[in-house]
A and B are shown apart, each in its own frame.
Chain A
C-alpha cells in the first residue's frame, strides 16, 4: 500500500508551512504539529486545498506539561485523507484564535471546549453563553485536576438529604408490594 496521497498532503503542508511538523501517521491519516498562532493560516490553507470538511476539535489535558493540546480534524473528500492538526496552549490563560470565520461549525466545538477545558477562543462571541453546563460556576470539569469523584460525593450529598427525609418521615421508596 503506497502512501502517495498522504505524502502529497505532507508535501503540500511543508511547502507553505516550514515550521509545521507534518508526518504520516498511517494510511489516510496525517498528523501535523504547529504553533497555536499558525493553526488558523494552516486550516485556511488546507481549506483552500480540498479539505472542505471540518470534522471536530478535541482537546487533551497534559497536566504535567501544564498544557492543553487541541486537535483539529479535517477531512478531504476527494483524496480521502484525514489531517489532524495538533497544537498546544498553556493550561492557565491559554488562548486560541477562533476558526469561526473559516468554518461556522467550529463555534460550537469551541464553546464546548471552553466550557469543559477552560480554553479561551478569541473572537468567539458566544463563548460566554452557557452551553451544556447550566448554572455551573466551578472549574472546567474535564480537566484532569478536577476530582469528579469528590465532586460527585460532596455535591450530591445523599446522606444529608436522606437524614432529612427520615426526619420528615418520608419513605422515599416503599419497597415491593406483596403479591
Chain B
C-alpha cells in the first residue's frame, strides 16, 4: 500500500510540477527564439506572469456553456493524459493504459477546445480548428507508424515495459536501432507541438490566432496551462519511446532537449500552407517512418 500511497502523492504533485516546468519551457522557448533572432528576449518566467495576468483579467467574453467548458475540457484532458505517461520512472496511472490509450486521451483536449471554439462561433476559430484537424490527420499517421514500429520492436505497448527495455545507458536507447522511426516521429512532433513550419492553426496573421480568437482572460489562461502540459506530454512520448526515460531530472532534460530541437527548427522556418503541411506529412516523414517500420518488420 505504501507504493500506492507514494503514487497518489506524485499524482497530485506531478501536474503542478509539470505545469510550472512547462511554463518555463514556454518562457525558455521565447528567450531562445529571441536570442536566435538577436534580441534580448523576455525573462524566462515571462509565461508565468502571463498566466497570472490572464487569470486576473476581468470580464472576458463568454459565448455560452460549451464555450466555457471547452478550455476546461482541454485542460482536464491534458491533465489526464499527463497521468498516463510515465515521467521520470514515476508510473502514475500508466499501468492502467498503454500508448494507444494515451494517444486517444490526448485527443480529449483538442476535442474539448474545438467544441468550445465552435460555440464561440467565430469563423476564424473554426478555420483554425479545421486546419488543426487536417494537420492532425497528417502527423497522426506518421506518429502511429513510429509508435507501431516501437511496439513491433519491443512486443509491448506499455510505456513501462518499453522504458525498462531501454535501461542500461545511452547505447540501449531505441533511438539508435529505430533511428528512422525516431526521425519520423520527431517530424510528427513538430506538427504536434504546433511549431513552425506547422503553426497554420494559430497563424495570427491569417486567422487571428485561429482557435484562440474568441478566448480571452481566464479562458486563455486555461489554454496556456493546457499548452504547457501539452509540450511536456508530447515531448515525453518521444523521451519514453526513444530516449529511455530516466530519472526525474534527466527525464526533463531529455524532454527539453527534444523541445529544443523543435524550437530551433521553429525559429528559422517560415510557415507552410496547410495543404502543403498535410502533403508533407504524408510524403517524407511517412516514407521515412514506413521504411523504418519495414526494417523493423524484416529484422524482427
A and B touch in the complex (CB under 8 A): no
Please give the residue numbers on chain A whose beta carbons come within 8 Å of chain B beta carbons, in ascending order.
none
Please give the residue numbers on chain B whose beta carbons come within 8 Å of chain A beta carbons, in ascending order.
none
